[in-house]
Amino acid sequence: MKNSSRRGFMGKAFGAVAGVGAVGALYAMKKTWDPLPSVKAAGFTTLDMSAYNENELVVEKWRGKPIFVLKKTAEMVAKQTKEQTARDIKIGDNHFMVSIGLCTHLGCIPAYNPDEEGFLCACHGGQFDFSGDVKKSPPPRGLDIPPFKIVGQKLVLGEVGPEYTAMKENGITL
Ligand code: FES
């Protein structure tokens, strides 16, 4: 009787320890599965699109990559081709060129010249226009456009909105 109650107690104690252990292990596993807070925050970059000046390139950062943001002037919008317009991100009445700032040839960072309204990649002389489209080879395609979602005056990089989906479907970006 004494023995069995002792066994009962030990059994319960062991069960309780095992239970705590199991919960602890599950918690540890969940912690491992959950993305780190910094990764979660790094996955998305929110840009306030009301903060940019026309024809002034700003280099933002998203997932460790440079992101070119260029607010177009009314003159640029008026003179651009249909293909260039197709690459625009429109927020209200404003047109923006937003792209990953890495040359599609071998990954150098092209420089923007506001007077010429275009980019020059110093590595092998590739050129892009103010829409990020190729003007001069060797780059095989225009600058890639990161996944984006328009939320009011903000642009969330890393989220996929209908405008980005349409660009992908139309082959405007990879
Ligand atoms: S890396 Fe830009 S032209 Fe070669």
The residue behind tokens 């919008």 is: 77
How far apart CA 124 and CA 129 sit, in angstroms, is: 16
Please give the average per-residue pLDDT across 27-54, as a whole number.
69
Instruction: Tell me how far the alpha carbon of residue 124 lies from the centroid of ligand 1, in angstroms.
Output: 5
- Residue of higher predicted confidence among 31 and 53: 53
Instruction: Tell me how far the alpha carbon of residue 146 lies from the centroid of ligand 1, in angstroms.
Output: 19
Ligand 1 in reach of 106 Cβ (< 6 A): yes
Instruction: Tell me how far the alpha carbon of residue 102 lies from the centroid of ligand 1, in angstroms.
Output: 9
Ligand 1 in reach of 124 Cβ (< 6 A): yes
For residue range 53-101, list pLDDT tens digits in order: 999 999 999 999 999 999 999 999 999 999 999 999 999 999 999 999 9
Instruction: Tell me how far the alpha carbon of residue 117 lies from the centroid of ligand 1, in angstroms.
Output: 18
How far apart CA 52 and CA 67 sit, in angstroms, is: 14
Q: Is 131 exposed, middle or buried (0-12, 13-18, 19+ CB in 10 A)?
A: buried
How far apart CA 158 and CA 113 sit, in angstroms, is: 27
Rounded to the nearest 10°, the torsion over CA 136, 57, 164, 90 is -110
Please give the average per-residue pLDDT across 3-14, as a whole number.
52
Helix (H) or strand (E) holding 15: helix 2-33
46 pLDDT above the threshold of 80: yes
Number of CB atoms found within 10 A of residue 20's CB:
10
Ligand 1 in reach of 103 Cβ (< 6 A): yes
**49 contacts 154 by C-beta, under 8 angstroms:** yes
Instruction: Tell me how far the alpha carbon of residue 142 lies from the centroid of ligand 1, in angstroms.
Output: 12
Ligand 1 in reach of 86 Cβ (< 6 A): no
Instruction: Tell me how far the alpha carbon of residue 138 lies from the centroid of ligand 1, in angstroms.
Output: 7
pLDDT of residue 39: 46
- Residue from 104, 105, 136 whose mutation best tests the ligand 1 pocket (most atoms within 8 A of CB): 105
Ligand 1 in reach of 7 Cβ (< 6 A): no
Which amino acid, residue 135?
A: K
For residue range 102-159, list pLDDT tens digits in order: 999 999 999 999 999 999 999 999 999 999 999 999 999 999 999 999 999 999 999 9
Residues 6+ apart with CB under 8 A from 97: 68, 69, 70, 72, 87, 88, 89, 130, 131, 132
